[in-house]
Structure 1
Amino acid sequence: MNINKRVIYITFISVILLLITNNSSYYWYMKSLLTQAQSDKMASMANQIRTAIEQSKEGAFFVEDLIGEQLRSAAMIAQSKLGSDINKVTNGQLVELAKETNVDGFSLMKRSGNGNDIMVAKSSEPKELQITSTIPFGYWFTAFDQLMTHHEVTIPEGQKLANFWSGIYEVPASGSSDVSKFGYYDDGSTNYMICVFVNADKIQHFQKIVGPETILKKTIAATPGILEVAGLNAVTFGTKPIEYKSASGETFISVYDSPVLFGSNEMSTSDDVQYVKQAIQQGMPVNVVEDYQGIPVMKTYVYVPVKNKLTEVQRDVPYVIKIVSDYQSTQHTLKKQLNQLTLLIILFTLISCVCVYFVFRLVSKSRETAVRSTQEMYIENMDLMFATIRSQQHDFNNHVQTMYALLSKGELADQKRYMEELIEEINDVNDIIRIGQPAIAALIQAKIALAMRTKIQFTYELSGLDGLSLGVRSVDLVKIIGNLIDNAFDEANKFPIEAREVSVNGWKGANHVHIAVRNPVSTAFDLEDYTQMFTMGYSTKEDGEHQGIGLSVVKERIEYYRGTIEVTMEEGFICFQISIPMA
């Protein structure tokens, strides 16, 4: 029995060591798995937010340009009623004229005594009369000078129309309002330049409806694990923004210099500046787990550069999306899973050890036969014991993968119920989560605005996509549909206005999701050579940016997801129909 006891002791110690080793290794494995899952989820969420914000900005810029056109019309009406001599115009006339044309105010600008400066001489807004010099206005002064001298503006900044220029909506130098939109008109028939302005409440109202703040509120409401989202200015965050002085001497900061462009940044620490710089330099998402006021959180930073930046001053600025998510639930889940699985492994290990002990007690009564029987039984039971441990280890992997999937979806209730069922040795639980595609809606909205601007008859019909679950990232789905629509718009713009028709249809089949984009095409186009359209660099456009890139991106993404694309011709129209298998 001495030998048998030693064997039992050695076996027991070996199992305990194996248990400790397994628990330690799988603890770190599971921690890495859960942390990476949350990191990937937050990075994906940031990219979805980025796509939605980019589309909403396009709509806001379109609204801003429409307001600029309305300002020009108001300025032309004003000129027709004021006459050509500024000395015959009174401030009271400008007040009445502003009411009549439904704008917030008019100012008349003229050159100063030496002719080198431009000032406000008459205005319906008394604070505007304090502007006696516009040279400090930078490129705004350049635009004023060009408009009064040549009656047209050539600088790249701002909106340029015939005898008209309008800058970005900004904080007025006079301090007359929080944010205003200004337009300037001079056709050379007067000795003054007309400045017409409105408070930018229409643009801000549009942004409240579909802008970043609304997008963030909906995102946070739909994802309980997200605590805070902010858009940090990649240029000014961590530095002191440039302060300007109004005509009254009050200081103000440009809306484009604000360190926080949108969202909330209340859960901020001094290390945020370092992580923002790191995200900008690497061009990759940065994830950090840290304690904020005793609460474990994960911070994700995703850099969003400016697309096609032409000038140093424009209405779009680079920013970093910062997402703060709750990491406390991950730690709690990790600890709970570790305790429960450890309990299971210990239980089965003790049972195995007890079985081994009693087997040795029974077989030890025989001599040679008993010895052989004991040896055989020992080996058999040792194999059984380690098979049990290996089985637990194997099942542990399956359990971890299942819990990882549940945790990545944020289904803590399902995860808790799964753990209870695991302890009770009940069958696994399947919980199919259907998610929507909000990025598609934002894309279609932006394309509608673009179609209105280019006078394209754009129709769409999307059915069955709400709650659609694909093995496709939302960013890739937007790339595919967006490039197909852009290609269709480019072709449609070659036709007269009455022939510009583009349609998009989307529906869900049994195992696939289908998207079809249809647009007119020249009768000289040969469908037999359509395969060239998907070659990098091939384009029918004579000029413009990104020639020959869009359709090659579409083909690459569809092939990546093992989908198909079919091109057909019918009655002067070409139709691209894609089919992507559902996960």
Structure 2
Amino acid sequence: MNLKKIIRLSFLINILQILLIIVIIFYINYAPSQDMFLLLYGSAGLTTFNSMLAVVSYYFLIAREDRKDVQETIQNLENLNATLREQRHDYLNHIQVIYGLMELEEFEEAKHYMEPVYEDLLKVGKALKTSHPAVNALLQAKMQKGQNEDVSVYLEVKSNLKDISMEPWELCKVLSNVIDNGFTALMQKENMRKLYIDIGEDQANYSFYIYNNGPVIPPDVLPNIFIQGFSTKKEEGHGMGLAIVKKTLEKVGGSIQVDSNVDKTCFTILVPKV
């Protein structure tokens, strides 16, 4: 049974509960006590079933989100592997060109040729600094997404995350949701879109600062963005991402908070070391 069917069934049972309550109120002064007893038990049964259905709906949605996150992690790893293979092939060609230019003593031309090649190498190198291939693949995927969507992504990795107290795919779920939230906010700007990802550590925690120069989050919205089901978007499926992020972090003793002003919106994530 898919999520839409579960929600529709839950709605139908709620309607039946309301009708039962109306019938009970009507029968209070007229129905025999035995009939009244059956009505009360029927209402209690429907209420219990509907509560169980709500729990099933929630865990069905969580399981669906987890499957999607694992699939996304696998896809990111495959994309990173493909990127590295392409770069290895391209760099062999670049070396041949640079060697040829130097043989011809075209040193200035060789320098100009090397600059974009070096920049391309640095972009991938920045995303390969942690000890978790899945996280490296995610960071590389988000940097590529920035290029595709005209967003300047600045990545600073000052920790290898070796002793983090989360499974790599769960960390990817957390980072992906928050980073994508930044991309969505930046789409409201016409130009000069900037997204920063700063990863570090202290003695007790790993820190992730993810901030952007998008529009300020209104004060009346800010306290609610980690509440399950809350969303400023109307499309089906929104309103779960940041709530799931918060729950995932709290499960390992981590935390997330957000600050927003006219200059930037910053999500601060802390994850304890093992």
Task: Classify the TM-score, shorter chain.
Answer: 0.5 to 0.7
Cα separation, 1, equivalents of 2:214 and 2:84: 36
Residue 542 of structure 1: how far off its partner (Å): 4.8
Q: Which has the higher helix share?
A: 2
Aligned partner of 1:501 in structure 2 is: 194
Aligned partner of 1:455 in structure 2 is: 150
SS of the residue corresponding to residue 209 of structure 2 reads: strand
Cα separation, 1, equivalents of 2:134 and 2:165: 15
Q: Structure 1 runs of 4+ off > 4 angstroms?
A: 48-52, 56-60
SS of the residue corresponding to residue 534 of structure 1 reads: coil
Name the amino acid aligned to 2:225. Answer: M
1:488 aligns with 2:147: no
Cα separation, 1, equivalents of 2:142 and 2:135: 11
Q: Which has the larger radius of gyration?
A: 1
Residue 49 of structure 1: how far off its partner (Å): 9.2
Cα separation, 2, equivalents of 1:540 and 1:53: 30
Using a 3 Å threshold, how does the CA distance of structure 1 residues 437 and 51 change in structure 2: closer, same or farther? Answer: farther
1:518 aligns with 2:185: no
> Aligned runs of 1:248-259 on 2, under 5 Å?
none
Cα separation, 2, equivalents of 1:494 and 1:542: 16
CA contact (8 A) 2:79 2:137 kept: no
> Aligned runs of 1:100-249 on 2, under 5 Å?
206=83, 208-209=85-86
SS of the residue corresponding to residue 505 of structure 1 reads: strand
Residue 460 of structure 1: how far off its partner (Å): 1.2
Q: Which has the higher strand share?
A: 1
Residue 522 of structure 1: how far off its partner (Å): 2.7
Of 251, 264, 273, which residue of structure 2 is paired with 1:573?
264
Using a 3 Å threshold, how does the CA distance of structure 1 residues 208 and 541 change in structure 2: closer, same or farther? Answer: same
Cα separation, 2, equivalents of 1:565 and 1:58: 29
CA contact (8 A) 1:465 1:508 kept: no
> Aligned runs of 1:405-416 on 2, under 5 Å?
none
1:53 aligns with 2:68: no
Cα separation, 2, equivalents of 1:570 and 1:529: 13
CA contact (8 A) 1:503 1:518 kept: yes
1:553 aligns with 2:244: yes
SS of the residue corresponding to residue 486 of structure 1 reads: helix
SS of the residue corresponding to residue 225 of structure 2 reads: helix
Using a 3 Å threshold, how does the CA distance of structure 1 residues 449 and 554 change in structure 2: closer, same or farther? Answer: same
Residue 529 of structure 1: how far off its partner (Å): 3.8
Using a 3 Å threshold, how does the CA distance of structure 1 residues 50 and 549 change in structure 2: closer, same or farther? Answer: closer
Aligned partner of 1:108 in structure 2 is: none
Q: Which has the higher contact order (CA 8 A, sep 6+)?
A: 2
Name the amino acid aligned to 1:471. Answer: S
Aligned partner of 1:93 in structure 2 is: none
Cα separation, 2, equivalents of 1:455 and 1:501: 9
Cα separation, 2, equivalents of 1:475 and 1:49: 6
Residue 59 of structure 1: how far off its partner (Å): 6.6
Aligned partner of 1:536 in structure 2 is: 228
TM-score in terms of structure 1 length: 0.26
Q: Residues 481-508 of structure 1, C-alpha deviation per residue, up to 9 Å, x if partnerless?
A: 111001111111111122x111111101
Residue 438 of structure 1: how far off its partner (Å): 1.8
Aligned partner of 2:173 in structure 1 is: 479
Aligned partner of 2:137 in structure 1 is: 442
CA contact (8 A) 1:561 1:580 kept: yes
SS of the residue corresponding to residue 527 of structure 1 reads: coil
Using a 3 Å threshold, how does the CA distance of structure 1 residues 537 and 520 change in structure 2: closer, same or farther? Answer: farther
Name the amino acid aligned to 2:85. Answer: K
Cα separation, 2, equivalents of 1:50 and 1:496: 32
Name the amino acid aligned to 1:567. Answer: V
Using a 3 Å threshold, how does the CA distance of structure 1 residues 56 and 581 change in structure 2: closer, same or farther? Answer: closer
Cα separation, 2, equivalents of 1:436 and 1:509: 17
Using a 3 Å threshold, how does the CA distance of structure 1 residues 511 and 209 change in structure 2: closer, same or farther? Answer: farther
Of 219, 222, 232, which residue of structure 2 is paired with 1:527?
219
> Aligned runs of 1:34-113 on 2, under 5 Å?
52-57=73-78
In structure 2, the gaps of 5 or more residues are 1-68, 88-129
TM-score in terms of structure 2 length: 0.53
Q: Residues 15-45 of structure 1, C-alpha deviation per residue, up to 9 Å, x if partnerless?
A: xxxxxxxxxxxxxxxxxxxxxxxxxxxxxxx
CA contact (8 A) 1:458 1:503 kept: yes
Identity %: 23
RMSD of aligned residue pairs (Cα, Å) = 2.9
Aligned length: 165
